[in-house]
Every structure is written in C-alpha cells, then in structure tokens.
Amino acid sequence: MRRIDAIGIGLGVFIAGGLAYIGLQLVGLDSQQAGIWSQVLLVCGLIGWLFTYAFRAVEKKMTYHQQREDYEQAFFQKRLEELTPEELAKIQAEIEQEKQTQV
C-alpha cells in the first residue's frame, strides 16, 4: 500500500465518522448520544476489519504470499522448460524410484 492510499483511507474513515455523527443527529439523537454511537460504529468497523486481516494473514491469502507463490510457480516452470528431454527423463526416473522406496 502506498502512503497516499493510507492517507486516503484515514481521511475516508474520519469523514465516515463525521457523516455518521451528523446522520445520527438528524435521526433525532442529541449530540452526546450521536457522538457515542458514531464512535461505537467506528470501533466495530475497526474490529471487524482487524478480524478479516487476521484471518487473511493466517490463511496466507495476503498479496505478498500470492505474489510469492506465483513467482515460484513461474520460476519452476521456466526451469522445467529449460531441461533437455534426457534430463527430464532422468528426474522422472528418480521421482518414480523415490515413490517406490517410500511405499
């Protein structure tokens, strides 16, 4: 995430809190109650985002992990394409031999 993105998100959350406060006042809550409930909404939103972030981190569904897996896949694919047919047959024979010794 770029720095400008973080600033934009922070500004968006700040504006959303202000709009929630104004909206709650328009619904009929006094300023103190509107302030409390707008803070409750923002804290619940933050906690919800935190749980989704933790879930993505534990499940390794983050952008970094996905980019790394894609890179490794492309790297091994390129290495596989560079092998001669004899080298490929030799590797396949070694894999078959390992499978037989594990059984």
Task: Please report, for the chain, the start and end positions of each structural domain, with discontinuous segments joined by +.
Answer: 1-61, 62-103
Of the candidates 33, 34, 11, 32, the residue with the CA atom closest to the CA atom of residue 22: 34
Q: What is the pLDDT of residues 75-94, one digit of tens each?
A: 999 998 888 888 888 988 99
pLDDT in tens, 55-72: 988 888 878 888 888 999
Q: How open is the CA angle 51-56-61, to the nearest 5 degrees?
A: 170
Q: Tokens 């202000």 — which residue?
A: 18
Per-residue confidence (pLDDT) for residue 65, from 0 to 100: 83
Q: pTM value?
A: 0.57
